[in-house]
Amino acid sequence: MTKKKKKVYPISSAQPVPRLPETLLHLEEDSARPGGCCLGPSDSAPPPRSTGLLPPAPPASCLDLSWVSLLCPSRMQGAWSPRDQVQSPGRMSALGRSSVILLTYVLAAIELTCLFMQFSVLPYLSRKLGLDSIAFGYLQTTFGVLQLLGGPVFGRFADQRGARAALTLSFLAALALYLLLAAASSPALPGVYLLFASRLPGALMHTLPAAQMVITDLSAPEERPAALGRLGLCFGVGVILGSLLGGTLVSAYGIQCPAILAALATLLGAVLSFTCIPASTKGTKTNTETPPPGGPQASVFDLKAIASLLRLPDVPRIFLVKVASNFPTGLFMVMFSIISMEFFQLEAAQAGYLMSFFGLLQMVTQGLVIGQLSSRFSEEALLRASVLGFIAVGLAMAWMSSVFHFCLLVPGLVFSFCTLNVVTDSMLTKAVSTSDTGAMLGLCASVQPLLRTLGPTVGGFLYRSFGVPIFGHVQVAINVLVLLVLWRKPMPQKKDKVW
C-alpha cells in the first residue's frame, strides 16, 4: 500500500495572516486572576473560531496552553525580576515581600538585643563562678572559634534548606544557649561546666547572616546596599536596648533574669520564623541546589563547595580587602574593655555610655547615611572612602591621649567600619549566584569571629609592648596598602553610578 501524501497549502505573500483571537492573546493576564488558569464554560469570552490555518480549538475547559509561552517568552520562560521570583506560588507565605523584609528586621533586632543582654551578664556571672581573666579569655575564644567554624556551614544550610529552616534553627540554638546560661546561674548546679557548655550552641547562632540572606534574595541589586545597611538599625537597637536591659535586670531581679527573658524572646523568634517566614526566598529559577532524581544529595558540610566560592572571579580580592581593613579595628575593639579601664580610666557605667554612643552612631550610619550615599555613588567609591576614613582615624588614634579625643574620632571610625562591611557584603553577594548567597554571607560572618579569636593574643601583645598608639600605626599601614590595591585595580562595577 502506498501512503497518501498530505496536501500542503502554501500561503501567498499577499494573503494576510489572520490575527490570533484576543482571548488567547490575553490568556496570561487571565491566568493571573483567581480561577483564571483556563477558560471555563461559564466565562463570557466566546470560544475561538477556526481560521483555516489553525486547527479547531479544543473545548475551553481543557485548553492546552503549552504553546502560548511563545507569545510572551520573557515571562513564561522564567526570566523574572527578583521581585517576581520570590513571589512565585508556593514560595512566599501569606505575608508579602515587604512584610517579610520588615519581619526579618524585627527578628534580627530581637536576636541582637538578647545577645547584648548576654554580653552584659557574662562578665558578672564569670566572676561569680570564680573564673579569672585567663579562663574568661578561654570562654570568649571558645565562642569565637565555634562561630568561625559554624558560619560557612550554616550559610550553606540556609542555601539548601531555605530561610525558614535557617532562622528557626538559629533561634532554637540561641534558646539552648540562654537556658544553659540560666542554669549556670543556679547555685545547685555545676555552674562552670554549664557556662562553657552554653558556648556550644554558638556554632549555630547566625541570625544576622540568615537575615542578610533573606534581604539579599528579596531586594534588587541596586537596592541591596541600602537594604543591608538598615540592619544597622537593628544592631543599634540591640546594643542600646540589650545593654540597658541587661544591667537593669541584673540590678533589680538578679543575674538569672536576663537569661530567662532572652530565652523567652528567642522562643518567640523561633515561632515567628517557623510560621511567618517563607520556606525559600530564592525563587524558582535560582534554586539550583536540588540534585537530579536518584543522584547524591548535596552535603551541608561540603567544605570544597564552600571554599570554591572564594575562587570565583573578583571574590578573593573583595574578601581580602574586607579582612585586611577590618583587622586593625578588630584588634582595637577586642582590647577596648581593657583600654577603657586602663588608658581612659573609665568606670563601668561610663564605658556603657560610650558603647551606647557607638550603637547610636551605627544606627544612624547604617540606617540613614549609607542608604543615601549608595543611591548617589558607586560601591567602588564608597569602598575607597571607607579605606580613606580608616587612614584618617588611624592617624588621629596614634596621637590620641584622652577619651575626649577618642569621642571625636568615633564617628569616622563607625562610618568607615559600617560602610566597608555593608559594601563588601553587597559586592560579594553580587559576585556569586543567588543560590550561594547564604554560604557567601556565612563566610563574611566568619570574619568577626576570626578577629575575636586572634584578637586577644595579637592585640594583647601589641598593647603591652607598644601601648595604644600602635593600633593607629597598624591602622594606617594596612589601609594604605589596601588603598593602593584598590587604586591600581578597581573593583568590578555592576551598575553605572555617579562618581
Mean pLDDT of the region 2-12? 50
How does pLDDT run across 24-50, given as a tens digit for each residue?
444 444 444 444 443 443 444 444 444
Average pLDDT value over all residues in the chain: 75
Phi, psi (degrees; rounded to nearest 5) at 186? -80, 130
CATH architecture of the domain covering 91-283+311-488: Up-down Bundle (1.20)
pLDDT at 124: 79
DSSP string, 299-346: PTT-HHHHHHGGGSTTHHHHHHHHHHHHHHHHHHHHTHHHHHHHTS--
CA–centroid distance for 402 within its chain: 36
pLDDT at 28: 44
With a cut of 60, say whether residue 221 has pLDDT above it: yes
Which class for 467: exposed (0-12), middle (13-18), buried (19 or more C-beta within 10 A)?
exposed
pLDDT at 406: 92
How does pLDDT run across 48-83, given as a tens digit for each residue?
444 443 444 444 434 343 333 333 333 333 333 344
With a cut of 60, say whether residue 12 has pLDDT above it: no
283 and 86 Cβ atoms separated by less than 8 Å: yes
Handedness of CA 485, 487, 490, 495 (dihedral sign): positive
Q: How confident is the model at residue 103 (pLDDT cuts 50, 70, 90)?
A: very high
The single residue listed with the C-alpha cell 535586670 is 249
How does pLDDT run across 268-321, given as a tens digit for each residue?
999 999 998 888 877 644 444 444 444 445 555 556 776 777 777 778 888 888
Task: Tell me the CB-side half-sphere exposure of residue 13, using CA atoms within 13 A.
Answer: 0
CA atoms of 18 and 197, how far apart (whole Å): 76
Least Cα distance to 391 among 467, 320, 472, 317 occurs for: 472
pLDDT at 79: 34
How does pLDDT run across 176-217, given as a tens digit for each residue?
999 999 999 888 888 889 999 999 998 889 888 888 888 888
Mean pLDDT of the region 472-484? 94
What is the number of other CB atoms lying within 10 angstroms of the CB of residue 251?
A: 10
DSSP label of 39: -
For residue 237, give the H/E element and its range.
Answer: helix 231-253
- For the CA atoms of the chain, what is the radius of gyration? 28
Which class for 10: exposed (0-12), middle (13-18), buried (19 or more C-beta within 10 A)?
exposed
DSSP label of 61: G
With a cut of 90, say whether residue 19 has pLDDT above it: no
How does pLDDT run across 325-371, given as a tens digit for each residue?
989 998 898 888 778 878 888 876 677 678 778 878 888 887 788 87
Rounded (10°) CA dihedral 438, 86, 164, 363:
70
Quick one: residue 467, left, alpha or beta (phi over 0 = left, psi -120 to 50 = alpha)? left
CA atoms of 190 and 177, how far apart (whole Å): 16
pLDDT at 350: 76
pLDDT at 487: 84
248 and 120 Cβ atoms separated by less than 8 Å: no
Q: How confident is the model at residue 2 (pLDDT cuts 50, 70, 90)?
A: low
With a cut of 50, say whether residue 423 has pLDDT above it: yes
Name the residue ranges covered by the structural domains of the chain.
Answer: 91-283+311-488
How does pLDDT run across 116-134, given as a tens digit for each residue?
888 878 877 888 888 876 7
pLDDT at 95: 58
